């Protein structure tokens, strides 16, 4: 039999691990596409690392930034993309930084979303259907194209090659096979700010609760790429080469305290959610301790009775 004190400790540890193990792990995760929702704010940060060896030649090296008035055209383009999914939603405070070296381009986009949240009494409802936005217009700085990167990809000699007896070509878009004849068309349509792969309702996304904040976090992953696979028949055997252009994102959306998700809508209390949650935990912990104490006491009494009965049997024998 397990001693009462050990059982009590085991119960407490087990309960705490079940409650908070997911929260601790989730708090350590960093997202590439993050949305932070507050009572009066909704901030988006998207960091994209675009890898490309389809064009064969390294991209032009540059470092640039767009803010304030210089970002007005880009802000209009992104606002239109969000509004096409949720009418009335817009973007403010847009900041873009981008740098390119070799075959890697890193672009960070930050902005706040306006018009997506509504408050009624003490509840805030946030419409997140805009999360899968796709910017159709280009965002340019001089001769540099930040969004319509497909213009560069479409000129690659890797595309639109028919298979022969010596070389076999296979083309893919986001893992889906496409016809060779469509490879140039698909490449030319490639956009850096294309998150249409996030169209699944938020209600279907994995979610977790963390004490840090506290907050509710929803997570997902999205990839966007075009791939060409070449197999050349050589001696002593075939040689394979892969040409790739694209990116992948870990997506994290965090809302205050314990939020409810219905479809693409996040609902949470506009009150002091953090204080309320901590107050609830302050009640919960003593309750767990009291329950463990009562379990230990009952086990202790039962053990003593069992011991006395056994002793009595021993004396009689």
Residue 234: is it exposed, middle or buried by C-beta count within 10 angstroms (0-12/13-18/19+)?
exposed
Is the CB of residue 296 less than 8 Å from the CB of residue 163?
no
Share of the chain above pLDDT 70, in %: 75
- pLDDT reported for residue 27: 37
pLDDT in tens, 65-90: 999 999 999 999 999 999 999 999 99
Whether pLDDT at 303 is above 80: no
pLDDT on residue 273: 45
> Distances from the Cα of 110 to the Cαs of 43, 71, 92, 123, 270, in angstroms?
8, 11, 9, 26, 24
pLDDT score of 297 = 57
What is the rounded distance in angstroms from the CA atom of residue 49 to the CA atom of residue 223?
11
What integer best gives the mean pLDDT of the chain?
Answer: 83
Looking at residue 129, its pLDDT comes to 97
In the chain the first and final C-alpha atoms are separated, in Å, by 24
The larger pLDDT score, comparing residue 269 to residue 25, is at 269
Looking at residue 216, its pLDDT comes to: 92
**What tokens does 12 get?**
């407490």
Strands 62-66 and 90-101: antiparallel
Quick: pLDDT tens for 221-254: 999 999 999 999 888 889 999 999 999 999 999 9
Asked if residue 28 has pLDDT above 50, the reply is no
Contacts 24+ apart (CB under 8 A), 38-45: 38/256, 39/124, 39/256, 39/270, 41/112, 42/112, 42/113, 42/114, 42/116, 42/117, 42/126, 43/110, 43/111, 43/112, 43/113, 44/109, 44/110, 44/111, 44/112, 44/113, 45/108, 45/109, 45/110
| Percent of the chain surpassing pLDDT 90 | 63
What is the predicted pLDDT for the residue at 14?
46
pLDDT-derived band at 183 (thresholds 50, 70, 90) equals very high
292-316: average pLDDT: 52
Reported as a pLDDT band with limits 50, 70 and 90, residue 125 is very high
**Cα distance between residue 82 and residue 277, in whole Å:** 33
Q: How confident is the model at residue 52 (pLDDT cuts 50, 70, 90)?
A: very high
Per the structure block, which two tokens stand in for 291?
């329950």
Six token digits for residue 223? 């990839």
Say which range, 10-14, 105-109, 145-149, has the weakest mean pLDDT.
10-14
Q: How far is CA 149 from CA 133, 137, 190, 261, in A?
A: 17, 11, 6, 35
Is residue 78 a contact partner of residue 133, using CB atoms and an 8 Å limit?
yes
Q: In what order do the strands lie in the sheet with 123-127?
A: 117-120, 123-127, 265-269, 260-262
| Per-residue confidence (pLDDT) for residue 162, from 0 to 100 | 93
Say if residue 193's pLDDT is above 90: yes
Helices 4-27 and 273-316, interaxial angle, to 10°?
150
């Amino acid at each position: 039999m397990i001693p009462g004190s050990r059982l009590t400790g085991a119960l407490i540890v087990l309960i705490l691990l079940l409650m908070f193990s997911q929260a601790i792990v989730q708090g350590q995760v960093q997202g590439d596409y993050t949305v932070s929702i507050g009572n009066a704010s909704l901030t988006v940060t998207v960091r994209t690392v675009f890898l490309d060896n389809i064009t064969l030649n390294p991209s032009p090296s540059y470092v640039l930034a767009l803010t304030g008035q210089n970002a007005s055209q880009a802000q209009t383009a992104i606002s239109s993309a969000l509004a096409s999914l949720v009418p009335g939603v817009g973007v403010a405070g847009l900041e873009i930084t981008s740098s390119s070296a070799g075959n890697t381009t890193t672009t960070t986009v930050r902005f706040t979303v306006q018009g997506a949240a509504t408050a009624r009494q003490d509840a805030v409802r946030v419409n997140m259907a805009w999360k899968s936005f796709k910017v159709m217009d280009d965002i340019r700085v001089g001769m540099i194209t930040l969004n319509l990167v497909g213009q560069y990809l479409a000129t690659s000699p890797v595309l639109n090659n028919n298979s022969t007896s010596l070389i076999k070509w296979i083309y893919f878009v986001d893992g889906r096979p496409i016809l060779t004849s469509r490879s140039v068309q698909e490449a030319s349509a490639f956009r850096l700010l294309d998150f249409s792969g996030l169209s699944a309702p938020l209600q279907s996304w994995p979610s977790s609760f963390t004490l840090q904040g506290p907050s509710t976090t929803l997570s997902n992953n999205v990839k966007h790429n075009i791939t060409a696979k070449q197999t050349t028949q050589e001696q002593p055997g075939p040689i394979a080469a892969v040409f790739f252009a694209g990116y992948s994102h870990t997506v994290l959306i965090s809302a205050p305290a314990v939020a409810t998700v219905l479809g693409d809508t996040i609902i949470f209390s506009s009150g002091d959610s953090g204080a309320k949650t901590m107050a609830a935990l302050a009640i919960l912990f003593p309750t767990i301790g009291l329950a463990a104490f009562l379990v230990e006491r009952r086990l202790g009494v039962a053990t003593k009775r069992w011991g006395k009965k056994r002793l009595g049997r021993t004396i009689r024998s």
